[in-house]
Structure 1
Amino acid sequence: MAYRMRKLKPGTEQGFTLLEVMVALAIFATLSIALFSAVQHVAMNSANLTERTQALWIADNRMNELRIGLREPQSQRSAEQIEFGGRLWWLFSDIQSAPDSRLLKVQLRVSVETTQQRARQYSRAQLLGYIEARP
């Protein structure tokens, strides 16, 4: 089957008008901004999730150290800086006697803030648990 080439008459050239091109560019720019915003949101959520996960690991590690006796529980509030995952973290411990005299109530909070005052206000993870009170 033979294809015929259609010759265009002068003045009947087909193409996009300037208005059509500008509308297409406006749509593309809007979609690009929306896509960039979505990618930025995903990246920030991923960073926050990583930070919260590491903070929970720190709190969980400390709770397990107290449970198996690697650290002696002290019935007081304490704050210390810990290096974990290449960063410095604040770990706040509050160990109190529980309603049951055989247990101690342990509350741990972890923050990645630079100063101790800000770290007390903004924690990335909190863990509450009970451990056996040793005589």
Structure 2
Amino acid sequence: MRSWHRGFTLVEVLVALAVLAIALAAIMRTMAQAIDTTAALREHDVALWVAQNRLAEHMMRQDWPGVDTTNGDVEMGGQKWFWREQVAATQEPKMRRIEITIRRTTDSKNSSATLVGYLLNTQ
């Protein structure tokens, strides 16, 4: 009497392994994209904090900057950030428009964050 053992054939095992490999590759790619997105969001958040700090400093000092463009750098979050402030006159003589752009490098074409605010001359 012969007994038949039921099991998977070699082809079935190879097909199952191929499907598993494709699924794991897709999962790894999704995880890598999630990590990249998280890093980009963190960079944008820190850059926005730098811009908000610059605007808050002007407001606290009650600055009245002239219409001009200035550049500088600051360290935040363990990294160096480069800022550019473009001050423009408005139709209201006692207000200035200030646009603060934050970049990771001085020659970067892409900004990490941009903030527009208004300063009031209280004097």
> What are structure 2's unaligned runs of at least 5 residues?
none
CA distance in 2, matches of 1:99, 1:125: 26
1:97 aligns to what?
Answer: 89
2:33 aligns to what?
Answer: 41
Q: Which has the higher contact order (CA 8 A, sep 6+)?
A: 2
**1:106 CA displacement:** 0.3
1:106 aligns to what?
Answer: 98
**1:90 CA displacement:** 0.6
CA distance in 1, matches of 2:31, 2:17: 21
1:25 aligns to what?
Answer: 17
> What are structure 1's unaligned runs of at least 5 residues?
1-8
Quick check: 1:122 aligned with 2:110? yes
Residue 78 of structure 2 aligns to which amino acid in structure 1? G
CA distance in 2, matches of 1:13, 1:27: 25
Distance 1:134 1:74, change over 3 A: farther
TM-score, normalized by length of structure 2?
Answer: 0.92
Which one has a bigger Cα radius of gyration? 1
SS in 1 for 2:99: strand
Residue 37 of structure 2 aligns to which amino acid in structure 1? N
**1:72 CA displacement:** 5.7
CA displacement 1:56-78 (0-9 Å, x = unmatched): 00001111111121766343101
TM-score, normalized by length of structure 1?
Answer: 0.84
CA distance in 2, matches of 1:45, 1:32: 20
1:76 aligns to what?
Answer: 68
1:6 aligns to what?
Answer: none
Residue 107 of structure 1 aligns to which amino acid in structure 2? E
Report if aligned partners of 2:85, 2:100 keep a CA contact under 8 Å in 1.
yes
